[in-house]
Amino acid sequence: MSPAARSKIHAVYREMRRAGPIHRVTDPFSGAPAWLVLTHEGANRVLRDTDGFIRDASSLMSDEQRTAAPPLPPAALALVGLTHKDPPEHTRLRALVQKSFTPRRVDGLRARSRLLARRLLDAIDGEDEFDLLAAFAFPLPILIILELLGLPGEDYARFRGWSEALVGDDIPRKLEVAGIVRAYLDPVIDRRARTPSDDLLSGLVHARTSDGERLSRDELHAMVIVLLVAGHESTVSLIANGALALLTHPEQRARLLADPALMRPAIEEMLRFDGPIDFSFVRYASAATELCGASIERGQRVFVSLLAANRDPDVFDAPDRFDIGRQARGHIAFGVGIHACVGAPLARLEGAEALLELSRRRPGLELAIPAEAVAWRPSRLIHSPRVLPVRGR
């Protein structure tokens, strides 16, 4: 997790993968022993075997342990949404959010993404040197999520602060913000319950399963928080890492400008080459098992490096080469299995619109520092530069 290792993370994983498909590590957050899977095959096994590798460790507790555990404060309920659940609860929540994530609603955001990208580029039109991350990559995804949910764009600054706290590791602050978001959402949810509009929040408030069940108020809070957290920084990083790949591969950028229809495979290649997310969410072994030749004990944590799996030479030819024409099918930047990203169509669309506008408007843009000097965030989750200094027009 050190900044030095993060800045050459692909080389680190290449070495580790050569030494073996799975490694014993320490969970940097809890300090507990854990496993890290680095191959495409191992990643698929863990993410698809939802009986063997579960998300909610509390189901492994004995009745006594469960009774002895302190009750969660009410705001904590808003922090354990869809991503933290296993079937059957996950199946129900997922069906409800999937219903609201209609292709029409997502596609409706294409023109909006383009317009927002243009406005952000207008705002820096006079500048020859700027941070592409702060000026362009960062604001777009959160504005789009607000639009998707039907929340006012003027609340951007507030959501930005909340989102930052919610992805952070400061638990008391997270709980405080979860409480603030709940209080913010309640009157909005009440309004949507009385008078639905065309947004995703109305969809979530009114969605019903085939048994007529709906999301409870706690589940609605948690769902909005999951969408905000899962959809924001990951998409920022798709735009930033995609721009970086294009800036450091001018021949690929020229190909894209000559044939914008290549944007579709190019986005897949960006997701494969330098995906926005490194580790999947942690999984717990539900029973002692064998994985990639290692003996995993019941309850042990297993992480999957999506970045390493997406450069597995057994699956991708010359994996360290960035080639927008390669049709990078089979990358797992959005995960696989039942937890695979619900927002993938939206993320692809935002990335494509943003990067096309940027390439057209600033075809002469270049990195203002050597590529090796780009500082990456020391995060196991988000794989993104901290800043992206660029210059030129």
47 binds ligand HEM (CB under 6 A): yes
Residue 17's H or E segment, with its range, is helix 9-19
Give residue number: closest CB to ligand HEM: 343
308 binds ligand HEM (CB under 6 A): no
Please say which residue, 76 or 368, places its beta carbon nearer to ligand HEM: 76
Q: Are 47 and 280 in contact (CB under 8 A)?
A: yes
Q: Which of 100, 163, 202, 235 binds ligand HEM (CB under 6 A)?
A: 235
Q: Are 34 and 300 in contact (CB under 8 A)?
A: yes
Q: Which of 230, 285, 356, 365 binds ligand HEM (CB under 6 A)?
A: 230
Spacing of C-alpha 374 from chain mean position = 21
34 binds ligand HEM (CB under 6 A): no
Phi-psi group of 327: left, alpha or beta (phi > 0 → left; psi -120 to 50 → alpha; rest → beta): left
Q: Which of 247, 346, 354, 388 binds ligand HEM (CB under 6 A)?
A: 346
Please say which residue, 178 or 342, places its beta carbon nearer to ligand HEM: 342
Site string for ligand HEM, 242-281 (x = CB under 6 A): ---------------------------------xxx--xx
Residue whose tokens read 């507030």: 158
The one segment of 316-324, 332-340, 357-365, 375-383 that binds ligand HEM by CB under 6 A: 332-340
Q: Which of 242, 319, 343, 385 binds ligand HEM (CB under 6 A)?
A: 343
* Minimum distance of ligand HEM from residue 188's CB (angstroms): 17
Site string for ligand HEM, 81-100 (x = CB under 6 A): -xx----------x------
Q: Judge residue 117's burial from the number of C-beta atoms within 10 Å of its C-beta, 0-12 exposed, 13-18 middle, 19 or more buried.
A: buried
DSSP states along 31-45: --EEEEE-SHHHHHH
CB atoms within 10 A of CB 298: 11
Of residues 142-171, those binding ligand HEM (CB under 6 A): 145
Please say which residue, 292 or 349, places its beta carbon nearer to ligand HEM: 349
Q: What are phi and psi of 382, to 5 degrees?
A: -90, 125
40 binds ligand HEM (CB under 6 A): no
Please say which residue, 94 or 249, places its beta carbon nearer to ligand HEM: 94
347 binds ligand HEM (CB under 6 A): yes
DSSP states along 212-277: S----HHHHHHHHHHHHHHHHHHHHHHHHHHHHHHHH-HHHHHHHHH-GGGHHHHHHHHHHHT-SB
Count of residues touching ligand HEM (by CB under 6 A): 27
Q: Which is nearest to 59 in space by CA: 296, 295, 287?
A: 287
Q: Which is nearest to 215 in space by CA: 349, 389, 78?
A: 78
The one segment of 182-190, 224-232, 323-331, 364-372 that binds ligand HEM by CB under 6 A: 224-232
The amino acid occupying position 248 is T
User: In the numeric block, which tokens belong to residue 199?
Assistant: 């947004």
CB contact set of 393 (below 8 Å; sequence gap of 6+) = 128, 362, 363, 364, 365
- Strand duo 301-304 + 289-291: pairing: unpaired
Please say which residue, 175 or 228, places its beta carbon nearer to ligand HEM: 228
80 binds ligand HEM (CB under 6 A): no
Q: Which of 245, 335, 384, 388 binds ligand HEM (CB under 6 A)?
A: 335
Residues within the interface to ligand HEM (CB under 6 A): 47, 82-83, 94, 145, 226-227, 230-231, 234-235, 238, 275-277, 280-281, 306, 333-335, 339, 341-343, 346-347
